[in-house]
Amino acid sequence: MIILIVIVVVLVAYVGMTYNGFVTLKNRVKEAWSDIEVQMKRRYDLIPNLVETVKGYAAHESGTLEKVIQARNIAMAPHADMKEVAKSENMLTGALKSIFALSENYPDLKANQNFMELQRELRDTEDKIQAARRFYNANVLALNTKAEMFPSNIIANAFNFQKAEFFELGEEEQEAKKAVKVQF
CB distance 173 to 90 below 8 Å: yes
Taken in order of first residue, the domains within the chain and their CATH numbers are 28-178 (1.20.1440.20)
Residue 61 CA, distance from chain mean position: 29
Phi, then psi, of 64 in degrees rounded to 5 = -65, -45
SS3 label, residue 77 = coil
Q: pTM (2 decimals)? A: 0.75
- Under the banding of pLDDT at 50, 70 and 90, the label for residue 176 is very low
Phi, then psi, of 170 in degrees rounded to 5 = -80, 170
Angle formed by the axes of helices 2-57 and 82-102, nearest 10°: 30
Q: What is the pLDDT of residues 41-61, one digit of tens each?
A: 999 998 888 888 887 776 667
Give the residue, 58 or 147, on which the prediction is more confident. Answer: 147
d(CA 42, CA 84): 20
Residue 155's pLDDT is 94
- Averaged pLDDT, 130-145: 95
- Cβ-proximal residues to 144 (8 Å cutoff; 6+ apart), any chain: 163, 164
